[in-house]
Amino acid sequence: MPGESSLFERFLSTDQDRTLLFQRVVLGVVIFPHGAQKLLGWFGGPGFSDTMGFFTDTMHFPAPLAFLIIIAESLGALGLILGLGTRLAALGIAAVMVGAVLTSHMSFGFFMNWFGAQKGEGFEYHLLALALAMPLLVRGGGLLSMDGALVERLRSGSASVPRPSRT
């Protein structure tokens, strides 16, 4: 129907806000190395197999959840940098941050272990990541996002999304 936007368009929609651009790129750049450690073994990380083993054997997470954590931090971070699937990427990273706080960091308190005085890391980093992710989840990717470009193409009619036929 004319004037009716599809669920896909609403999922991708965003305004051209520069603040959202800044938030998504910073969050993506900060999270990507963590994901690359888990997925690819970059930056001194364990790589995919060892990370899966840690999550499933040590943390006792189901394998599908372990896989989603790795994907959220690696491909989700790339999605944020590009502004592609911003809301889904922000949701994935927010879920990982909440999960990390609840399963690993809450018992160490608020502060990171800046001075080596505690046995683990607190959850202040995770709260900052959540603070960056939530506006992206709600408002989209902002200026220069691939999401915004896709919506413009859909609205201009130069690209179309297949819709199920109504018979």
Is 62 among the domain residues?
A: yes
CA distances from 4 to 15, 155, 157 (A): 18, 10, 13
Average pLDDT, the chain: 92
Residue 30's domain comprises 9-153
Is 79 among the domain residues?
A: yes
| Rounded-to-5 percentages of helix, strand, coil across the chain | 70, 0, 30
Q: How many domains does the chain have?
A: 1
d(CA 104, CA 34): 16
Res. 8 pLDDT band, cuts 50 70 90: confident
Least confident range of 100-109, 114-123, 141-150: 114-123
Q: How many CB atoms lie within 10 A of CB 83?
A: 27
Share of the chain above pLDDT 90, in %: 75
Is 2 among the domain residues?
A: no
Own/partner pairs, 39-48, CB within 8 angstroms, 24+ separation: 39/70, 39/71, 39/73, 39/74, 40/74
Res. 117 pLDDT band, cuts 50 70 90: confident
Is 1 among the domain residues?
A: no
pTM of the model as a whole: 0.87
Is 72 among the domain residues?
A: yes
Res. 1 pLDDT band, cuts 50 70 90: very low
Whether the predicted pLDDT of 160 surpasses 60: no
Q: What is the reported pLDDT for 158?
A: 66
